[in-house]
């Protein structure tokens, strides 16, 4: 037991001397000097962040113009050489029907009726809320639109519109049944 007591005493003495060696102020003098010199230097100035301009979106406005990679077309020569496409003209002496006072976008197909003979009529609602029964051969719309066909879900028209060169051209249009869902 004396041996164990002597071992503990020598271990304690070793630890105390090791701790005493750590407390001595050796080896840090150069580090302390460097820190003092760094603190003594004048401090730098950080420039403020630059102001950024807001992003402005670029609007491409030349989409409807001629491509710069294609040769220009002489419009005058093509229009002079062009013969009239058709002899279509609206009948201006014909009395106008009620639905010709509205544009096709203002009219709405709301249903159909079938007669006992099997004739199919379309029901068209005008912007004022009135319902009109139309059949094949009736006119509707601002552009002399003549009804050429009626089915359960749509009315087919043939409009006569100006072609931009003093003549007229036929244009097919459709008015569809709007289903509420």
Question: If you average pLDDT over residues 164-176, what whole number do you get?
Answer: 88
Spell out where the chain has E strands.
Answer: 108-114, 120-125, 131-134, 139-140, 145-150, 154-162, 168-176
In this prediction the pTM is 0.53
Question: If you average pLDDT over residues 56-81, what whole number do you get?
Answer: 71
Q: Please give the CATH architecture assigned to the domain spanning 98-176.
A: Roll (2.30)
- pLDDT at 96 (0 to 100): 92
Question: If you average pLDDT over residues 170-181, what whole number do you get?
Answer: 82
pLDDT digits (tens, 9 = 90+) for 103-118: 999 999 999 998 888 8
Of the listed ranges 27-36, 54-63, 77-86, the least confidently predicted one is 77-86
């Amino acid at each position: 037991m004396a041996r164990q007591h002597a071992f503990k005493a020598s271990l304690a003495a070793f630890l105390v001397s090791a701790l005493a060696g750590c407390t001595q102020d050796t080896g840090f003098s150069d580090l302390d000097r460097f820190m003092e010199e760094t603190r003594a230097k004048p401090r730098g100035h950080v420039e403020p962040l630059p102001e950024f301009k807001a992003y402005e979106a670029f609007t491409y406005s030349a989409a409807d113009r001629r491509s710069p990679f294609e040769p220009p077309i002489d419009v005058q020569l093509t229009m002079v050489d062009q013969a009239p496409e058709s002899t279509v003209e609206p009948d201006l002496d014909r009395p106008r029907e009620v639905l010709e006072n509205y544009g096709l976008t203002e009219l709405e197909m709301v249903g159909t009726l079938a007669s006992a003979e099997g004739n199919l009529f379309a029901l068209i609602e005008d912007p004022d809320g009135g319902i009109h029964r139309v059949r094949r051969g009736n006119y509707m719309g601002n552009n002399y639109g003549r009804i050429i066909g009626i089915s359960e879900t749509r009315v087919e028209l043939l409009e006569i519109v100006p072609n931009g060169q003093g003549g007229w051209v036929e244009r097919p249009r459709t008015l569809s049944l709007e289903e509420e869902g």
